[in-house]
Structure 1
Amino acid sequence: MRRKRDIIISGFSKLLKEDKLKLVAEYFENPGEVVNLLKSFWHSDEDQQKLFDEFSENTITNFYIPYGIAPNVVINGRTYLVPMVIEESSVVAAASAAAKFWSERGGFHSEIIDTKKVGQVHFSWSGQAVVLFDLLPLLKNRLIESVKPITANMEKRGGGIVDIQLINMTDQIDDYYQLLTTFETVDSMGANFINSVLEEFGQTLKVFLSEQIQLSDEHRQCEIIMAILSNYTPECVVKTWVECSFDQLDNLDEKLGGEAFAHKFEKAVKIAQVDVYRATTHNKGIYNGIDSVAIATGNDFRAIEAAGHAYAARNGNYQSLSRVEIENGIFRFILEVPMAIGTVGGLTSLHPLAKQSLELLGNPTARELMMIASVMGIANNFSAVKSLTTKGIQAGHMKMHLFNILNHFKATDGEKNAAVEHFKDQKVSFASVGQYIASLRK
């Protein structure tokens, strides 16, 4: 007999939301309770809920993630309250602690290196490369002319097409070429704009080649394989750093003076530059901060993180995105990371909390938001490496994780208050918390 879960469902997307919900609930032993639970996460405002439902497909409920605030974030002399959406314990606390620490040492410094984004038309053509390159000046003009209705508004805002290059990849794949296009999209992330331009480029390329009567019949044809933006944006980069003298690092560790701490911290970061196992975890910590700001402002954190990991491997080895420089008694910690982020369009304009996040940040431009997000990345990275090189990561992390463990044991408010007091000077672990709660209940 086939299990219910093995049955292929036809027409699920066409069902009403209530019917989808009931169908899914039938996969549980207590469908009535499941329906009530999932409905309990619906927004009380029907219009707001309808908006959330339409963000994605086959929606049956909402999934809550905490929305926290990191205060005292000083960037280039300006102070921010930064919204962070993340479920992981200690990330907001770590960012807040780093922000407070560096606010007393000149704050975070940040600058935009560049903001260009990339898209490609991948196509096959069987002629001689030199012929195609000879046609490129004419082709460029034709391509740009063909997308003027699409680029007009972007150009009014100061963006548009920056350059178009023909890339010969026939040494790797037979007959394979690219039209590699760079764009400036100003305050929007620009995905839909870029993809619309590229798809039109593909059609224009086919027509252009078909009109070249000097070419053979075969070479007046090409096959468009695909036209799509790239989430790898090595020319859309932000650089962020903190710096101070050795003496300003005194007292970070009871066993190390400021200079000794700086050199130990430097070595820890160098390990992440030569060891891929450490680099992966090191960079994950950076994206704890960056992703949380991206989510809070309605940006695509998956695209941002994919670009960062590719950038970390740009020299052939995956390594740390951050680095340390020590010179003349000055400690400098630097993060350089690609980031295609926007403040207009998409969820940034639709999600009510994304709009509030941007308002809380002072309605920043995309360039400013790049700096803010990267600051939260380096803030988390600093706190993590500081903990690792001093008291260890678990002491602080598990203290922050205590409430999650207490909720697992369904602790009452009184039990939670007692546990917080008890574990002020005790190591926190799942087992130790369980034993303590059990002792309270005897």
Structure 2
Amino acid sequence: MNIVNGFSKLTKEQKIEWLVSQYFQGDLSVVSLLKSYWNSDVQLQKLHDEFIENTITNFYLPMGVAPNFNINGKTFAVPMVIEESSVVAAAANAAKFWSKRGGFKATVLATEKIGNVHFMFKGSKEKLVTFIEGLQPVFRIRTAEITRNMEKRGGGILKIDLIDKTNELSGYYQLHATFDTRDSMGANFINSCLEEFANVLREKAMEYEAFTAAEKESLQVVMSILSNYVPNCLVRAEVSCKIEDLKSKEIQNPQEFAEKFVQAVRIAEIETYRAVTHNKGIMNGVDAVVLATGNDFRAIEAGVHAFAAKNGKYTSLSHAEIVNDEFRFWMDLPLALGTVGGLTNLHPMVKFALELLGKPNANELMEIIAVAGLAQNFAAIKSLTTTGIQQGHMKMHLMNILNQLQATDDERKEVAAHFQEQTVSHRAVVDFVENLRRK
């Protein structure tokens, strides 16, 4: 058994030595591989080492840029961090397409974030309601030190509600708190407030004279934690134009294209199998910019997909319609983002990405990221309903196949020329390269 004690206390070199000895039969090439991804700048590497625990090396992902995004009349070059071929190209293609048709419009609809104190109580609901009402000023007083700086920036605690969930789980209640965290994602701020709410709840329950001894004992805090479901931290991104203006090299019949596009979106609205892949395409654009700007893409993913199922069935995040000969395509997206705190002040490439975007505040970043998702979705549906998704994707994927085959520069030129007019598939590329090598 490869059980180790005190692993976290080992140096980075010692961690690598242990891993290689236990899992790679002492292969020194593995040591070389891991060290080859260390940054030669010692201070920069130290910074990366301290982002997480038990660091052994860096894992690189490419950063690309999608230019020509016209958002609310302002032009952006949008940074994207992703490993999937064709995503950046598709976003750039959609950005250029809509830059000639009025650009994207984005509006922040709401900015509330949520946190909960989950607790159990076996007693009189009427007494509990009165108890919580009386605690409202105490919650504010006890968190004053935590909220002081946030309130100076115009944020803070918005309200604290008691939610009765006893019909779903016996004895289960929540303190449901809403917050405005301004340009910060606010996870640490929210969690600190919630834990202090929980302390107040526990302490004051024991002092509350209306509760019986049994009721006091029954009030047990289970946990205090923010929620990544933020249906009231919402941004809308949209595009629209006259149907005739959709005409382009790929779209020769704009009316037919618009009708087919709307049908494709409606299929995603009613068919879960399609909706999941449809929304994944949206998140290709969203996650890539979330990563580039140092935000938490796991939190965004969880919240977005919960939002897609908010009515009890998983459905499309985006929508399309034709009204009075005008094509409209739009999406509402829950995005809890930050432009201060966390990695935004630490990671050099995050700083670069935010500077590239003009140092946006949280609301502006919400707009940019929602637009990136809508652009990605438009590009995907446009391909699906015209040339098909694989034609463009596989040509972008061609370089990955050639890298796997360790193709030479001459081989790459011949492959690129051959597949200019041919359908790209992994098997077809392998066969062509093998024939070249036999010759």
TM-score, L = length of structure 2? 0.98
Q: Which residue of 2 aligns with 1:90?
A: 86
CA distance in 2, matches of 1:78, 1:175: 52
User: What is the count of residue pairs matched by the alignment?
Assistant: 436
Q: Equivalents in 1 of 2:316, 2:197: separation in Å?
A: 37
Question: Residue 321 of structure 2 is aligned with which of 314, 318, 325?
Answer: 325
Show CA shifts across 1:248-304 (max 9, x none): 1124546x6111111100010111111111000000000000000000010000101
Q: Match of 2:245?
A: 248
Pairwise CA RMSD of aligned residues?
Answer: 1.1
Amino acid paired to 2:86: S
Question: 1:38 & 1:144 partners in 2: Cα distance?
Answer: 50
**Aligned-pair distance for 1:138?**
1.3
1:412 is aligned, of 408, 413, 435, to 408
Q: Distance in 2 between matches of 1:191 and 1:117?
A: 9
Aligned-partner Cα distance in 2 for 1:213–1:431: 77
Counterpart Cα distance in 2 of 1:30 and 1:418: 41
Letter in 1 for 2:239: V
Bigger drift between 215-224 and 41-50 goes to 215-224
CA contact (8 A) 1:252 1:258 kept: no
Equivalences for residues 15-414 of structure 1 within 5 A: 15-26=10-21, 27-29=23-25, 31-221=27-217, 222-251=219-248, 253=250, 257-414=253-410
CA contact (8 A) 1:89 1:401 kept: yes
Q: What is the rounded CA distance, in whole Å, between the counterparts of 2:413 and 2:95 in structure 1? A: 28
Q: Is the 8 A contact 1:242 1:333 kept in 2?
A: yes
The correspondence for 2:6, drawn from 8, 11, 15, is: 11
Paired AA for residue 356 in structure 2: L
1:275–1:319 contact (8 Å) kept in structure 2: yes
Q: Please tell me the residue identity of whatever aligns with 1:318.
A: Y
Tell me how far apart the structure 2 counterparts of residues 258 and 312 of structure 1 sit (CA, whole Å): 29
**3-state SS in 2 of match to 1:391:** coil
Q: Measure how far apart 1:346 and its partner are.
A: 0.4
Superimposed CA distance per residue, residues 143-194 of structure 1 (whole angstroms, 9 cap, x where no aligned partner): 1111000000000001000010000111111111100000000000000000
Residue 408 of structure 2 aligns with an amino acid whose one-letter code is T
- How far off is 1:29 after superposition? 4.5
The letter of the residue matching 2:43 is: D
Give 1:419 shift.
Answer: 1.6
1:139 positional shift: 1.1
- Secondary structure of the structure 1 residue equivalent to 2:340: coil
Partner of 1:165, secondary structure, is strand
The verdict on how the C-alpha distance between 1:396 and 1:209 changes in structure 2, with shifts beyond 3 A counting, is same
What's the secondary structure of 1:182's corresponding residue? strand
Contact persistence 2:127–2:210 (CA under 8 A): no
SS in 1 for 2:400: helix
Query: What is the identity, as a one-letter code, of the residue corresponding to 1:401?
Result: H
Structure 2: runs of 5+ lacking an equivalent: none
Shift, 1:421, TM fit: 1.8
Once residues 394 and 13 of structure 2 are traced to their aligned partners in structure 1, the CA distance between those partners, rounded to angstroms, is 40
The match for 1:3 is none
In the TM superposition, residue 414 of structure 1 has moved relative to its aligned partner by 2.1
Letter in 2 for 1:24: L
Q: How far has the Cα of 1:141 moved from its partner?
A: 1.1
Give 3-state SS (helix, strand or coil) of 2:349's partner: helix
